[in-house]
Amino acid sequence: MKASTLVDGSVIDPSTIDLWRTRKDKERFQWSSLALLTPAFALLIILFLIPVGYAAYLGFTNLTLVGPTAVKWGYTGMANLHRLNSDTEFRSSLVLSAFFVVGSIVGVLIFGYWLASLLMRSTPWVRVVVGGVVVIAWMMPAITAGMTWYASTTAGGTFATLTGLSNSDFLGSYPLLVVTIANIWSQTGFAMLVFGAALRNIPSEILEAADVENASRFQRFRLIVLPMLRPTMTAIVLLVALLSLANFSLIYVMTQGGPGNATNILPLYSYQQAFQFNNLAYGALIGNVMVVIAAIFGVLYVRVATRRSR
């Protein structure tokens, strides 16, 4: 290459021009980005992705917590799947989970919306007091929420006193119903807040226009409020579904899955098989079933979340 001479007579030596450094704006990949991303993603891969993959494999082995197969264990093919297929306890656990999850979703939606819309047209002090109580119930850690509900629904507890049947043991008599109500109690606050924000975002002009057209309250709700709340509702449904499906602490504290197996939803059954019956592999397989169910909810959730952000 020849050195070029500029108008003013100065000379540019081509060897000083770095051909690789043409673009210096942020659009270029910088190696330091890798350094920034590595810690977080290394943690996610080692303690999240790998365990999920490992669990998928463990589900098809004969690993146990104690005994000879705790040390010498290996792949057993479809044996665990056959067992799962004929396991009546697993089937009832699926049904219990479905009741718990669906019941929680319905309860949280109804109470969340009801509270949010009532708060809209109440006096300020009522709003602060009642809103505060519901939010506190939501903020309470699962373990304390479970504690509190155990204490108030056991024989001689608050609800027994309130209903005047002081010796009735609500938790023992209707365990699944009581733990579902406790779960609704602890998640309604979130739905109430999100519904409240969504309701405030409905432009009042639209509702006024509906009033001008003599729309009934029910029409107003069905034709305006409900469609505008749909994205919010979908998000709440998916979150409550995921949280309830994976709920362990609340039920474990209240009933440990009992009495009998009356509240033994999937996470508890998985834990019971793995750590109480020592069948780590079978517990992992039940976990895998949960992964599949959660993944379906998860994909839906990601879809909704990304659609909303656009």
Partner 1 sequence: MTLPASEGTVEVLEALEGPTSFNMPPINPETQNSRTRKALSNGLLLVLGLLFLAPMVWLAFASLDSQATWSVEWPHFTLSNFQTVLSGTDLQALMNSLILAIVSTAIATVTGTLAAYAMSRRRIPWKGPLLLFVLFTSGVPLTILIVPLYQLFAIYGWLSIIPTAIFLAVTSLPFEIYLIKNFIDAVPEDLEEAARMEKANTFQILTRVVGPLALPGIAAAAIFGFVNAWGSFIVPLVLISPASQQPAPVAIYGFIGAANVRYGDIAAYSLIFCVPVFLLYAMSARLFREGFVLGGAVKG
What gap in Å lies between CA 103 and CA 120, rounded to an integer? Answer: 26
How far apart are the C-alpha atoms of 48 and 175, rounded to whole Å? Answer: 33
Residues 15-44 contacting partner 1, CB under 8 A: 26-30, 32-33, 36-37, 39-41, 43-44
Under rule CB under 8 A, how many of the chain's residues touch partner 1?
119
Q: Is 224 in the site for partner 1 (CB under 8 A)?
A: no
**Shortest reach from residue 182's CB to partner 1, in Å:** 8
Phi and psi, residue 11, nearest 5°: -120, 135
Q: Which of residues 79-108 bind partner 1 (CB under 8 A)?
A: none
Please report how close the Cβ of residue 278 comes to partner 1 at its closest, in angstroms.
Answer: 12
Residue 20 vs 29, nearer CB to partner 1: 29
Q: Which is nearer to partner 1, 207 or 262 (CB)?
A: 207
Give every CB contact of residue 223 below 8 A, 6+ residues apart in sequence: 210, 215
Q: Comparing C-alpha atoms, which of 178, 175, 177, 157 is closest to residue 166?
A: 157
Q: Is the four-CA dihedral 244, 250, 256, 262 of positive or negative sign?
A: negative
**Closest approach of partner 1 to the CB of residue 72, in Å:** 14
Q: Which of 171, 166, 136, 135 is nearest to 153 (CA)?
A: 171
User: Cβ closer to partner 1: 12 or 240?
Assistant: 240
Ranges within 133-172 binding partner 1 (CB under 8 A): 133-144, 147-162, 166
Name which of residues 225 to 284 contact partner 1 (CB under 8 A): 238-239, 242-243, 245-246, 248-249, 252-253, 267, 270-271, 274-275, 280, 283-284
- d(C-alpha 168, C-alpha 171), whole Å: 9
What amino acid is encoded at 103 in this protein?
A: G
Of the two residues 17 and 162, which places its CB atom closer to partner 1 in the complex?
A: 162
Decide: is 291 part of the binding site for partner 1 (CB under 8 A).
Answer: yes
**Type of residue at 253:** V
